[in-house]
Amino acid sequence: MSVRDIPKRLRGTDFRHAVQAIAALRGMDRTEAARLIPVVDAPDEQRAFQLAAARIVSQSGVRGLAVRWHELPGTQWRELFVSEIGQSLAWWSDEDVIELVLAALDDEVLVQRRAVTLLKSCLRPIPEKERKKTAKTQSGKAGLEAIDRMAGWMTAARRERTAAAVTSALERHVDAPRGLTWPDWYVELLGLTAAHADARALAVLERLRPKAGQPRRTEFEKLDPDNLPRETAMVAESKGVPPGTPFVRVKSVGTGLLDLENLERAVAAIKSRR
């Protein structure tokens, strides 16, 4: 990205471009970075967020952004900001980004869930086959390197903070875990971070066990061959299927239950950790 593009991106409506511009400010001289931030009245909340985040980063880097995270306007934009970081980790090769994500982990659920997603993706073991496939492209290789750096920056103290935040979230939603949007990911992240002696983490997982089982079930529905749904009839005709042929519709339906296997893996991982 050209330095000349930074002001235009910061005052523009393309949020992804603005986030990339903010990332570019991190390694710049503070005086130079400050000069690139447009001095304009933000016409809406999105631009107010972009300009506020850019000013903070130009003054005190990503660490400053983490400290002042809750000052940034708009839950929606904080959520999208964390999401964009997760999709472009290679742009954020900075250990302080961990502190930023941990700040987001203590935010509202809409923001918190993005932090959970990002941390889970960095801490989960990546199968070698998946690594080799991803590393075939330059962007994929850069992404893997960024994930490995993030995982390396997750010290024991940061893992403990992560586990405490995730445990608190699960405790608040133990009677209605779907309020967390992706509760199974919270459970998985807790299994990746909680220490062996974390009785509180194990306790909340056991409280969730009655709400766990098979997250999906398969249903079969016989269709009337003389009155097939339009799309099914069109496919049958294109494939040369004779009229009157019996059809069965197979559906995978959510049960509303947590994934019991995922929960049991998390419990086993915590208990086996040393």
Rounded to a whole number of angstroms, the distance between the first and last alpha carbons of the chain is: 45
Distance CA(247)–CA(237), nearest Å, equals 13
Residue 1 clears pLDDT 80, i.e. is over it: no
pLDDT of residue 209: 97
pLDDT of residue 252 exceeding 80, the answer is: yes
Residue 76 has pLDDT above 80, yes or no: yes
Distance CA 193, CA 270 (A): 8
Distance CA 53, CA 61 (A): 10
Q: What is the pLDDT of residue 226?
A: 87
Q: Is 104 helix (H, G, I), strand (E, B) or coil?
A: helix
DSSP type of residue 4:
T
Decide if pLDDT at 14 tops 80.
yes
Question: Which 3 state secondary structure label does DSSP give 247?
Answer: strand
Q: How far apart are CA 62 and CA 56, in angstroms?
A: 8
State the amino acid at position 242 in one-letter form.
P
| Phi, psi angles (nearest 5°) of residue 155 | -65, 170
* pLDDT > 90 in the chain, percent: 81
DSSP type of residue 98? H
Torsions phi, psi of 216, nearest 5? -140, 150
**Phi, psi angle pair for 178, to nearest 5°:** -65, -10
Strands 247-254 and 216-223: antiparallel
Rounded distance between C-alpha atoms, residue 206 and residue 26, angstroms = 43
pLDDT digits (tens, 9 = 90+) for 229-251: 998 889 988 999 998 899 999 99
What is the tens place of the pLDDT at every residue in 179-229?
A: 999 999 999 999 999 999 899 999 999 999 999 999 999 999 999 988 889
- 27 — pLDDT class (breaks 50, 70, 90): confident
Whether 208 contacts 188, CB under 8 Å: no
| Strand duo 212-213 + 216-223: pairing | unpaired
Instruction: Please compute the mean of the pLDDT values over residues 264-270 and round it to a whole number.
Output: 97
The mean pLDDT of the chain is 94
- Do 81 and 19 contact (CB within 8 A), yes or no? yes
* CA gap 103, 259 in Å, rounded: 27
Q: What is the pLDDT of residue 7?
A: 93
Q: What is the pTM of this model?
A: 0.88
Alpha carbons 25 and 32: distance in angstroms, whole number: 9
